[in-house]
Structure 1
Amino acid sequence: MDQEIYLDRKTFFHKLDPRTKIVILLVAFVLILYFENPLWVLPLTLLILLHGYFSESLVNLKRIRLIMIILTISSMILWSFFSNGVTPFVWVIELEAFQFAMARTMVMLSLITEGMIFLSTTRTEEFVLGMIRFGLPYRVGFAISTAFRMVPTIVSNVFIIAQAQRSRGLDLDSGNLLQRIRKYIPLLIPVFVSTIRNTNVFGMALEAKGFGAQNDRTNYYSSEFGKGDYIVMLVMGVLFAVTTYLKIMGFGGIPGLTKF
């Protein structure tokens, strides 16, 4: 199983300073939530797709394509029924509710896509260095980087333990979806035990190497702002200002929409 999400490419976005990448991520996450009308969400979604295309990161979406399909279907159904409008559309669904469901689904998929682009273009050590350059304490940054590394390790342990149990005759593939989920529940115990054991060993290794003995830390990886970073920061600043102005002026809403 390939645990690495980062894609080693030579694109413009890969070469940016990690602080610039973090700003792109945060601005995208904020702006995409501004509007309710899908016609206003669409340009921001297209910008995120262009970001993924030029960073050669969209290929990583294949890993989660099934999850994205399930989320798309469930989001369209739930938001269509839990929102109301004044214009009949299909069955008991109003046109305003359907438009809102489309917008929320686009927002959700855009957030997932932008997050995957960030992970595909930014190594864990780059992300931590960027947070530290923003003023985050090193200990907190180290904890965040450790969490990033532990998640794929835990997922890998689940697959390893499942394969080990299959070799012992445990049938994990027969039955309906609920039955298969129920069969995986007993596997959580060895996963938790393995995770606790690895965490204990990891803690002892940190103590043996004197973690936290000195306040001033040096970093193996180093990055500085370049011309491209300043250009991207300027573009993101202008985009944020213009989009925020449009939001304040009341654009991007759906007249007649009543949520919940």
Structure 2
Amino acid sequence: NDPRIVVSYAFQALGAFCELIESTINNSLIQFNSTQYITASVASSDLFQSQAQSFIDQFKLSTTNNFLLSLNMIRKTTQGNAFLSGQLTNYQLMVLDDKQTVLTISMAYSGCSCHLSSTCVNQLSIYKNDSGNVTSFDVPGFYIGCYVIETLLQSTLQCFYDQTCIDELLLYLTTASPINVTALDPSLSSQYSEDSTIEYLLNSLMIEEWNPIQIYDRYYDECQPIECTYTIKTRNSVIYIITTMFGIIGGLITVLKLVVPR
């Protein structure tokens, strides 16, 4: 139950989430781009923009919900079936003296039992033994608990906005080769903050900003209308009506004079 190994798995899980989200979005885009927009007649620019925005909003909502639905189903299934964590962070196994009986003992974090909840966590502390001198480092924003995924979701990237914290963390981690990590820039404009949890990032599919483009001209050219017609509804003025009536009456009088003999 070495915290350094747990951190390693947490980083791997974070990378896997990035790849999974990218794959999910790309697959959804393929399906979305194969959808045809068909109208009986050419839609106006305002109507086109409104309907296109509605389709885009539905795409974003369905893509996000489908991903989160699958993730939450896996989380609940794991907790409901009390699956053992690979690092035995939720249950410890104890073999009795008879060598035939194995007991499972629920782990507890901050007074919270993994038997009752999968979201129990403690502040992550990494220990290092340097020639008998044991030191520890509390990683800001990072936790250890029942499951790697659950603790990752509650963790933040706070440490990775601080170069000093990163350098200190690397001193406690054992790596096969030197790693050069540069701190994130907190001055950059972002909808996420240093204390945003990984779960919050996943709820937004780790997307900083959606940039949909709606081009009415391309839609209009694709339709290639042969002709365009329009109707203008107007109301005649009083003067026009009176003038027209006098004109009709005058015309009738003239016709009657020609037809009716004196």
State the TM-score, normalized to the length of structure 2: 0.23
**Greater strand share, 1 or 2?**
2
State the TM-score, normalized to the length of structure 1: 0.24
Using CA pairs under 8 Å that are at least 6 residues apart, name the structure with larger relative contact order, 1 or 2: 1
**Greater helix share, 1 or 2?**
1
